[in-house]
Amino acid sequence: MTTTFITGANKGLGLETARRLVELGHTVVLGARDPLRGATAAADLGVRFVRIDVTDDDSVSAAAADVERHEGHVDVLVNNAGVAGTHGVDPADLTGADVLDVLDVNVAGVVRTTTAFLPLLRRSADPVIVNVSSGMGSLEHTHDPSRPESQVVAPAYTASKAALTMLTTQYARAFPDIRVNAADPGYTATDLNAHTGPQTVREGTDAVVGLATEGPGHGSGRFVDRHGETTWS
């Protein structure tokens, strides 16, 4: 049975990913920062909850140690936790602290979690990392007038997702024994955008679930949308 750990899984894309993977037979460990919301979400799905704050080294290390004690290994790591930051704020008012706050979760948080969980992933016969990125970080998408990504101005968030996609390609090269890819959920109705996206949360998790379940023989370092198409930022 496939053991999967998901960060930021108490709501939105993370919760729906957990729900779908449970339905597909995965042993899901639900990671979240908020202990009450995380425990409630895990109880609803019938899975185990592990608290993890991806901005805190000690919390991430403790989460990995907890999973090691109980599950012993991880087959799939889904780095889903993310924040929008100062979305909608006039860029003229943007501060360095604003940007660092977003990068701390969306990029450094992925680094912390990946580093801590690498030993557990390497105990798997088919280790997989799925980083939940965004077309908002794609140079191609944000320059295409036909796409909604081109209509949004959100410097901190878009920069963080561009960095995450590049981080994914670098990890794919650095860890040839692990299949590392990035998922583009598309414009999905979640708390992150005040539920303005036209896609349902199930549609938004298509790419994540696809990458988490595709099995051996597929490439690494890809940026995949919900239709299974690979694009490059």
Give the H/E segment covering residue 18: helix 12-23
SS3 143: coil
Average pLDDT score over residue span 206-212: 96
Active-site choice (11, 157, 171, 187): 157
Report pLDDT digits (tens) over 44-54. 999 999 999 99
Q: Which residues pair with 213 in a beta bridge?
A: none
* Nearest by Cα to 12 from 90, 34, 3: 34
pLDDT at 108 over 50: yes
Cα atoms in the 13 Å half-sphere on the side-chain side of 125: 4
Predicted TM-score (pTM) above 0.85: yes
Active-site choice (11, 161, 171, 187): 161
Active site residue 171: no
pLDDT at 21 over 90: yes
Report pLDDT digits (tens) over 137-168. 666 766 667 676 656 778 899 999 999 999 99
* pLDDT the model gives residue 144: 66
Q: Is 58 exposed, middle or buried (0-12, 13-18, 19+ CB in 10 A)?
A: exposed
Whole-angstrom distance, CA of residue 156 vs CA of residue 12: 21
pLDDT at 209 over 60: yes
